[in-house]
Amino acid sequence: MATESEHFCVLDREYPAGIMACAGCGRFWMIAGSDIRRWAFIALALHRRLNRYQLDIEFGKHATLREAVQAAAARAREAEAAATAKIRADWPRIQASKRAKWWRCVRPIILSRPCAYCGDPATAVDHIIPLSRGGAHRMSNLAPACMWCNTEKGNRTPEEWKAWRLRLGRSWPPSPRTEAA
């Protein structure tokens, strides 16, 4: 474990061919290819943090470097907790907004086709496997339907609806223009 008197190199001087130097001790370091900019950014951030900690110690805010680092870590945890709480509070609104945007885009596409059951112009979007039976709001589970077919189908699957209509002596596929509602 490092003590306060030990030196930590802060690479802030950049030389050609990926060589950097520490501002404190002057030691040279070789940084491989694309890591140069990343390491320079990290070094600058660490250098700024270290300066901030040293100022805190000088002004008596903290007695040691360890206390300054621990206080900074505690502030970071508090900020992260506050950000997480805000996201959790906003999450239902965000999800509702995403669903509304998706639906505004998808509904006209589905309704541009004729009714999947009788061929009349579609006026409603039908869930092929009803939501009450475990269906989902996915494109693969949505079909265009006229209001008549959508209402008569109810919470049945297409196969159950067909069997129900045939059991009642009605034709398949349905033709709502000739049947009474």
Residue 9 lies in a domain: no
Other beta carbons within 10 angstroms of residue 8's beta carbon come to 12
CA distances from 62 to 1, 70, 75, 115 (A): 20, 10, 14, 73
Q: Is residue 62 part of a domain?
A: no
The enclosing H or E element of 1 equals: none
- Domain total for the chain? 1
Domain span at residue 131 reads 113-181
- Classify residue 34: in a domain, yes or no: no
A 10 A CB-CB count for 35 gives: 11
Kindly state whether residue 119 falls inside one of the protein's structural domains: yes
Kindly give the pairing relationship between strand 28-30 and strand 11-15.
unpaired
Tens digit of each residue's pLDDT (9 = 90 or more) over 133-174: 998 888 899 999 999 999 999 999 999 999 999 999 988 888
Which pLDDT tens digit goes with each residue over 104-120? 888 888 999 999 999 89
Q: Is residue 173 part of a domain?
A: yes
CB atoms < 10 A from the CB of 12, how many? 15
Residue 129 pLDDT exceeds 90 = yes
Query: Domain for residue 27, yes or no?
Result: no
Which residues are within 8 A (CB) of 116 and not within 5 positions of it... i.e. 6 or more apart?
A: 122, 126, 143, 144, 145
146 in any annotated domain: yes
Q: What is the pLDDT of residues 48-89, one digit of tens each?
A: 888 888 888 888 888 888 888 888 888 888 998 998 888 888
Does residue 148 lie in a domain region?
yes
